[in-house]
Structure 1
């Protein structure tokens, strides 16, 4: 015996505001969360906690203790705890466009795993190191110095995670035959992630251009990364705007008007 359920259309479904019926509404909500997250991220790391630009690896013990025991540092870590969960939304916006490309799924899986690993090492670890140092007064200076080193080495020295992630992103753009994103962005992305390899010497150099606050390791990398991130964001905006509605993977919304409208019919 087979059973079939018929669902009646709901006339009230078309009375919702037009903006709620926009087929890309959910994607645009995710997209506009991105600048809000990066703005909050910048406020936490720069004017609130002064974690960035990075302090010198050669800072004196009193300087390290004063920084690590700052109340602003503790507040910054608390805000970061509440907001770093927005980071996956940023990467999801990129992955959705990579999914439209004529490339293997391995590229988007690499982006997802690389972003997850990078967020843990490059954001979660520093947050706990700096927050732990500011949580309780009375820690011995050597312990604070160790947390200081751990926090900055995790933040600056973990760029290898992002190298693999952005390598997959750049190659996906270059190999894509659907032209979802411009080819020049793929070349720019490859060049940008290659500069992040310069983070490796921070584990060796404590001064000079390859220290974690050095000219090459930090400032040159930031000079390329920040414009690149803005450009990627604008290109993703155009990709979402130009995406045909028939390519959307939104689930179809079906509502029954009332219980009596659902009538099982039996077939022998």
Structure 2
């Protein structure tokens, strides 16, 4: 009998370590989120001056001076080294959606939407602006085309995120487990609807619906930035309150 008990009892050291670190992987991914977005903001705002977006009606001289800046190349180097962190930030949301009492189609929609959005909204602008600064001597018309392509991809691709955040908001609203608060679902739906205002950037070259306009950029940012912070806080609470019995990384049973 004593031998059976000794055999069934797991070694105390690894068991204690497992119980204390079962959420470590989630917390590592979670804290990558503010690091990535901070780095992303530094690259696009003070370093490269890509954001806030420059005017679609900038003169040829202004476009050439911007597109031939060496800061754009440095920004591309940093993005190249860091955009691999984006999947970790999305995984934090996906894991909580997986706990919800909704169809997996919501989770897959979020995953695919984030993939498409990252390609169009981050990689395309990086290649366009970086290509313009890579080799001196491009004609002003070529630089103007890359300039338009970069900004239209960045601002005009918000529709990619509409499906993504629509699935996220509906998953929260329909969830019966209360993983995230219902009001966050309605806030998410309202936030993604404002991103539809980016559609006119393909038509308007100035005014409130240009890619740097009050409606297409600034109004969306006023809603998006607080929403992103609120989602982050709610995800923190969801991870903190998640029962260990729901964790998929359960320790291996000893025999």
Structures share fold, TM-score greater than 0.5: yes
Q: How many residues align?
A: 249
Q: Which runs of 5+ in 2 are unaligned?
A: 1-6
Deviation at 1:160, TM superposition (A): 0.6
Cα distance in 2 for residues equivalent to 1:108 and 1:252: 26
Distance 1:97 1:15 in 2: 25
Query: Is the counterpart of residue 135 in structure 1 residue 156 in structure 2?
Result: no
- Contact 1:58–1:207 under 8 Å retained in 2: yes
Corresponding residue of 2:212: 213
In 2, Cα distance between the equivalents of 1:19 and 1:178? 26
* Equivalent position of 1:78 in the other structure: 77
Secondary structure, in 3 states, of the residue corresponding to 1:57? coil
The CA deviation at 1:13 is: 4.6
Is the contact made by 1:152 and 1:212 (CA closer than 8 Å) also made in structure 2?
yes
Higher normalized helix content (fraction of residues): 2
CA distance in 1, matches of 2:90, 2:181: 18
Residue 14 of structure 2: aligned partner: 14
TM-score, with structure 2 as normaliser: 0.93
Distance in 1, Cα, partners of 2:76 & 2:9: 50
The structure-2 alpha-carbon separation of the partners of 1:142 and 1:179, relative to structure 1 and needing over 3 Å to count, comes to same
The residue number in structure 2 matching 1:101 is: 100
The 3-state SS of whatever aligns with 2:103 is: coil
C-alpha distance in structure 2 between counterparts of 1:20 and 1:81, whole Å = 37
1:254 and 1:172 mapped to 2: Cα distance? 34
1:189-208 equivalence runs, <5 A:
189-208=188-207
Deviation (angstroms), 1:44: 0.2
Judged with a 3 Å threshold, the aligned counterparts in structure 2 of structure 1 residues 19 and 43 are, in CA distance, closer, same or farther, namely farther
Are the aligned partners of 1:19 and 1:25 in contact in 2 as well (CA < 8 Å)? no
Does the 8 A contact of 2:106 with 2:167 survive in 1? yes
**Aligned with 1:98: secondary structure?**
helix
Q: TM-score, normalised by structure 1?
A: 0.89
> Equivalent residue for 1:113?
112
Q: Deviations over 1:56-98 (max 9, x none)?
A: 0000001000000001111001100110111111111000000
Query: C-alpha displacement at 1:11, in angstroms?
Result: 4.2
Map 1:1-268 → 2, pairs under 5 A: 11=11, 13-14=13-14, 18=17, 21-250=20-249, 252-253=251-252
Q: Tell me, in whole angstroms, the C-alpha distance in 2 between the residues paired with 1:90 and 1:203.
A: 29
Structure number with larger C-alpha Rg: 1
Tell me the distance in 2 between the aligned counterparts of 1:20 and 1:101: 24
Decide whether aligned partners of structure 1 residues 39 and 20 sit closer, same or farther in structure 2, where only a CA change above 3 A counts. Answer: farther
Q: Contact 2:124 / 2:153 at 8 angstroms: preserved in 1? A: yes
1:175-203 Cα distance to aligned partner (Å, 9 max, x none): 00001000000000000000000000000
**Distance (Å, rounded) in 2 between the aligned partners of 1:244 and 1:251:** 12
CA distance in 2, matches of 1:25, 1:11: 21
Residue 136 of structure 2: SS of its match in structure 1?
coil
SS at match of 1:197: helix
